Every structure is written in C-alpha cells, then in structure tokens.
Structure 1
Amino acid sequence: MSDITPERGAQNLLANCAHATAGDRLLIVYEPPEYGYFDADSVEIVSRVAKSMGLSVETVDVGFNPDTPHLPVDLLKRFETADVILFLARLGDQLRFSQMPKGKKIIVSFALSREQFGSGFSNGHHDAFMELKAEINSVLNTAQEVRFTCPLGTDVRGRPEMNLDPSGDTSILRFPMSVFTPVPAHSFSGQVALTFLTGTGSKYYECYTTEFTHPVLARLDQGRLTGFEGHPSDVARAETHYDRVAEQFEIDRNFVHSWHAGIHPGCGYPWDMRENYERWGGAAFGNPRILHFHTCGAYAPGEISWNVIDPTIVIDGTTYWQSGRFYADRLPRGSEILSRYPCAAGLFAHPDTDIGLRKTG
C-alpha cells in the first residue's frame, strides 16, 4: 500500500469512520503522554487534518483514572456542543461498554501513536474492515461448529450463539475496526493454552499481569473455567491471580464471557509487550495472530483476558485463520470486498506479524 502516512490515517478516521464533514465540531478527549499509553503526537496530527477538512476542533485533557473512570459533568456539557467526539484516551475504552450520550458520534481510537496512525493499521480503508467484520459475523451466525487450536495446545470447539443486535457489541465506534463481534463462550468447551494472564482494560489493578514459566492449560466447560493444568507453580500462580481479582471486584471468578480474534493484518505492535502489558492489551488484540477471551466477571469485557497466539480457526470445515494468518478471501464475499479495497488487499498480502513478542534470555 503506497503513501501510508499518519495524516492519511487521521483522514481515514475522520472521513470514513466518523463521516465528518466541513463545519462539524470535533472534540478530542485525550490522555497526555506522561501516562505511558498515548503518545504526544496523535492529538496534533488529528487536529491538523481535521482543520484542513474544515472542522472546528476543541481538545480536553482528561488524564487517566485507573480506579473510578467516569464522565465528569463538565465533560458531558462539552459533549453537547460537539458533533464528533474522539477519545485518544483510555477513558473511552474503559467506558466503551457503558452508556454514552445518545445521538453523538463517539469514537475510541485503538491507534495510540504516530507510528500506528502512519501504518497500515490506520491507513487501511475503514469501510473494508467494517464489511469484513459483517461478513465474519454472518458466517459465525449460521455456523454449526467452530474449532480453534494453537501450537501450544489450545483446542476449543462449540457452536456460536451470536447476538448481533446492538446490545451484543459496544455501541461506540472503534477505529480502526479490528475484531468481529464477540462470540459468547457459554456454548464452547476445551482447553486454552496460556503463557500469561493480563487485564482487559476495563479496570486497572495491582499485579495486572502474571507470566508463567511454562504454558498453562485453562480448562473451559460451557463458558466456565473449571481449572488449570501445567507446572504446579504456574497453576498456583494462575489460581491466586483469579482469586485476587475476583475478590477485589466481587465478581464471578470462573465466568468466561466471550472471545474474538483479530481481523486486521495491519495491526502491528512495534514495541516489547513486556514493557507495558496494559498498552499491549489495548492495541495489539486486532492482529490476526491473537485470539482473545474475556474472562473473570459475568460481563464484557471481564477483568482477565486469555490471549491465544497464532490460532487456527476452522468454521464448518473452512480454515479462515491458519497459524495466526487470516484469509479474508475465503469468506463468501471476501474476495469481492478486497477487490474494491486494494489498500486492504495489500495488507492481507503482506501482514504485519510483529505483535510485541520478544525472545527472552
């Protein structure tokens, strides 16, 4: 894909996701870079492109509140005078399953930096990935069996029981669009191979991530965690992690809510995941190399995520993901969609396989 720039990524967000037009009022709700999540450049890039498109732009710093995220009254008043509200802040992600003001275009950006705005992740036409999402949802909605595996021993199967009305997904707009609608886990069973546990970005807590010395198998039975298998010290670490988080938030410890896989081959993560698991969890999950479960809590997105690396996903006998590579052209309308969006087709031909994994030792 030629001419990939941060400015084109911002224009894709504003024109193709927000459908903003000259005269619209854009409010950018941002988190400053000292929190180590969003960079210092994204607000400036989006503001500059918005003004070039004839939009009026206001910005407001909301900082970061890990414990009690909420929409302050003064911020809600500013929402009233905006046509488009863009969150370059974790507040939008924290509240994405909550009630946002009605009648507003509210967008949460999962592009966190100049690098990501200037990559295929943000430059791939937004409509292409909206159409691919709808196509995958349709396939899952009629599927009789889904089975997914991974090189470390994941083996899960079930029949999807999709909820494709608006209550089945977050109501705000996401940019870039990088996953399909979460598949409820209550009809899935098997084992999930894990090398770490980390949060979901819903709440933030001490000991947010637990790494294992050897892969651990989480046992899943009809949407319930029934236990862990593996090295005894790793199993103990996993059980303790679940006990602590469930007790802290008084939530259903063993509830496994849903899962989804990444659909955006431009969703690279060019940093070491271990340097900031919170940032990794909020930015990398859209890569097809990651299948992501929401667990611990009977609500989306739960408080502990399971991340399966390099999944193979077979739906009614057709392999759509093979060892972490998503073959969108195997969808019923996949080839037709990609033919209309050559920028997206180029990303599928040359996927970004960097998801922040770094060899240790």
Structure 2
Amino acid sequence: METNEIQKKQKKGFSSFLIKNNTYVMLIGLFIVCIIISPDFFNEANLVNIGRQSAGDIIIALGMLFVILTGGIDLSVGSVAALGSVMVAFALTTHEMGMGMAILLPILCGLALGLATGVLIAYAKMAPFIASLAMMTIAKGLAFMISNGQPVITPENTIGVLGTHMVGPVPTLVILAVAVIVLFWVVEKYTAFGRIVIAIGSNETAVRLAGIPVRKYKMSVYAISGICAAVAGIIAASRTAIGTPIIGTGWELNAIAACVIGGASLSGGEGSSVKAVVGVLVLALIGNIMNLLAVPSYPQDVIKGLIIIGSVLLQTFTSEKKSKGF
C-alpha cells in the first residue's frame, strides 16, 4: 500500500511538473525533433540565423504581452514596424542623419502612435480591436507615403552594420533581444507597474476602486507596444539594409500567437514574459525546420495554424488541470 501511495504521489508530481512547464517542454521537444529530422538544423550558421530572425519578433511579442495582460489587443504593431523600418532608412538616406537620431526618430513615432491608440482606448472608451485597427491603417499609410511605395536602400556602413555585427559567436541583435527580455521580466516580476498591469487584466474594477489610475496604465502599455514595434522595424531594416512599407504583414498575429502559446490569456491577467519568448522561439523553430525541409510557403501557413490550435488547446487543458489542483 505504501508503495502504491508513493507511486501515485510521484505520478502526480510528474504530471504537475509537465502541466506547469508545458511551454518549455514543447520547446525542448520541438528542438530535439528538429535536430533529428534535419542534419542542417544544429549548426552554428543556422542557429545564428534563427537568433537574428527572432530578435524583432521577441521584442514585438513582449510589447504585445503587456497589452494582453490588461485584456487588450494591439493590431497595429506590424504596420508600426513597417513605418519604423521606412523611417530609419529614409532618415539615413534622404536627410543623412546620424545613426543615433535616425534610430530615435522612429522610436518616438512608435511612442506617439502607441499613445494615440492608448488614449482612444483608455479615455475615449474605444474598443481595443477598433482603435488598434485604425492605427494599423494610419501607420501603413504613413509608411507608404514616406517611402512613396518603394523600398528605401540604406547607405553602406550605417544601420546594416547592426544587423551583421557579432560579439564573439553571438549576434548583436540577440544581445539586444536578451537585454529587452531581462528588462520586461524585471518589470513584470519586481515592479509595481508590472503587478498593476496584471491586476488590471484580472479585475479592472477592483483596481479602479483601490484608487489606482487605470486609464494611465492602459495607455502606457500601448505606448510600450508602439515603441517595441518601432524597434522591431529598425531591426528588420538592419538585417536587410532596406526600409520597406510591405514588411510587418501578419506580425501582429505572430505576436499574439506567441503570447498564447506561452500561456497568456486573451481575457487578461495571465501571462509571462519568458514564456512569451518561448512562444516566439517555438514559431521560429517551426518556420526554420520547414524551410530546411523545403516545405512550400502556403503549406507552412496551414501547418503553423494547426500547431497554434494545438498549443491553445494544450494551454486550455493545462489551465483546467491547474484549477483542479494538479
């Protein structure tokens, strides 16, 4: 009898571990599968490529996470990224600005657009879907206006250097992404701002009754999302040395999917910066392995969609198990 009790406790403990860490288990399992099915996956050049490609996606997903934690959504991030890409290239090419000013300009623009979205949602009581959709259209229009609908090639030895620079074996873009991850993790776990953002998504009425200015916090998360999107656009321009208004299509959906794969609840109040990053990496590995296996792009979208559905169902299942005390 004692042996059976011990086995039951061990089984329950293992099940509880899997339920709490399913996102990490998913990433590790996928990584192992990629190594097995493609000999080209686990080599330095491919891993560096994954890191560079994921840097902007990670930053956008982290900004999106804070919006989702409040129970909101930001559909404008892809278009704001495209605008950031165009603006940095335009500033370097047409106005011959220094690197610092050329990078600061799109970040300030992303901040302004994010603040505008936040004001519409927090103060004008507009639905997040509608407000961010409108801002998506505005940002996309501005990107096409500034670039005249054409790619803007950046001068040599400017922003493109950032995209190719390495610190030892590690790309500079990866170091930048890690710094942003640490920043968001600290804000989420150890600051009043992070705790209040989560509390707003859990019970906005209770937070308001506690005397906390909810509208300011809701506005601020959209401002953060706008900054993150602009930075992602700058990163995209640095990787290709081109600013173009057509990048960013679908980036908002990838960011939302990454957050959901990481266990974030679209109703707000639940999510993790680290797990959102894991969600980005899961999507990146899926895309990378399918490219290595020469899977055409359209079937890739179908496969990704099915995996996202499976991930959401897994998160729903594990959430139910957690609520039952497993």
Fold match, TM over 0.5? Answer: no
Structure with more of its chain in helix, by fraction: 2
TM-score for both structures, normalised by structure 1: 0.27
TM-score for both structures, normalised by structure 2: 0.29
- Choose 1 or 2 for highest CA Rg: 2
Structure of higher RCO (CA pairs closer than 8 Å, 6+ residues apart)? 2
Structure with more of its chain in strand, by fraction: 1
